[in-house]
Structure 1
Amino acid sequence: MTVTTPVTRDRDGSQNTFAIVSSNFEGNSVGDPGRRRAMHATMTGIGPAFCCGKSATSPSPRTASSSTRTRRHLACAAGSAPRRKDQAAHRNIRRPVQYGIEIASSPENPQKYAEGAPSGELRVVCWNVEHNGRGRSGSEDNRRLAHSILAGYQPHIVFRQELTGAWENGRHDLYEEASALGGLIPVMSAPKEGRSRNPVGVMVDPQLFQIDTHTDHDLPWKQICHVQVCLKGCPKPIQLASAHLCHFDPTMRATEARRLTVLADHGGTALIGMDANSYPYRTRDEITEPLDWDQVDDAVHFEHRTIERDGRRVSDTRPSEILSGGKGIFTDLAHHAGTVLKQPGALAATASLKRKDQGPPQRIDVVFGTPDLTPALRSFEAVATPDVRRVSDHALLVARFDLAVLHRILTATH
Structure 2
Amino acid sequence: MTELRVLVWNVKKGEHLTEAGAYVAAVRPDVWLAQEILPRHVAPFELATDMRCYPAAPATTSPNDNAIFIRPGSWFEVAEEYKHPDGAWHPPANLAVRDAACREERGGRRISLVSHHLCYFSADRRLSEAEWCTTLAKPGWLAIIGGDWNSYPSGAGPAPSLWASLLEDDNPCLDRALYVNRTYEESGIRHTDDRPDRLLRAAGFVDAARYARDELSQDLAMDPTTGHGDLERQGGRWRIDRVYLSEELAPTITNVQGGDASAVGALSDHLPVLLTLDSHKVRALLRPHGSATATATATATATAI
Unaligned runs of 5+ in 2: 103-107, 167-173, 295-305
- State how far apart, in whole Å, the 2-side matches of 1:190 and 1:385 are: 31
1:312 Cα offset (Å): 2.5
Percent identity among equivalent residues? Answer: 29
- State how far apart, in whole Å, the 2-side matches of 1:224 and 1:345 are: 28
Amino acid at match of 2:33: F
4+ residue runs over 4 A deviation: 288-291
- Which structure ranks higher in relative contact order (CA pairs < 8 Å, sequence separation ≥ 6)? 2
Map 1:1-400 → 2, pairs under 5 A: 119-132=1-14, 134=15, 142-164=16-38, 167-168=39-40, 173-182=41-50, 184-193=51-60, 195-207=61-73, 208-217=75-84, 218-234=86-102, 235-281=108-154, 283=155, 286=156, 292-296=162-166, 297-324=174-201, 326=202, 328-357=203-232, 358-386=234-262, 388-400=264-276
2:266 aligned counterpart, secondary structure: helix
User: TM-score normalized by structure 2?
Assistant: 0.85
User: TM-score normalized by structure 1?
Assistant: 0.63
After superposition, the CA RMSD in angstroms is: 1.8
Q: Do 1:157 and 1:203's aligned partners in 2 also have CA atoms closer than 8 Å?
A: yes
Q: Do 2:57 and 2:93's aligned partners in 1 also have CA atoms closer than 8 Å?
A: no
1:329 Cα offset (Å): 1.9
Higher helix share: 2
1:308 Cα offset (Å): 2.2
1:162 aligned counterpart, secondary structure: strand
Partner of residue 410 from structure 1, selected from 277, 286, 299: 286
1:302 aligned counterpart, secondary structure: helix
- State how far apart, in whole Å, the 2-side matches of 1:394 and 1:239 are: 24
- State how far apart, in whole Å, the 2-side matches of 1:232 and 1:290 are: 47
Q: Do 2:229 and 2:266's aligned partners in 1 also have CA atoms closer than 8 Å?
A: no
Unaligned runs of 5+ in 1: 1-118, 135-141
1:387 Cα offset (Å): 5.3
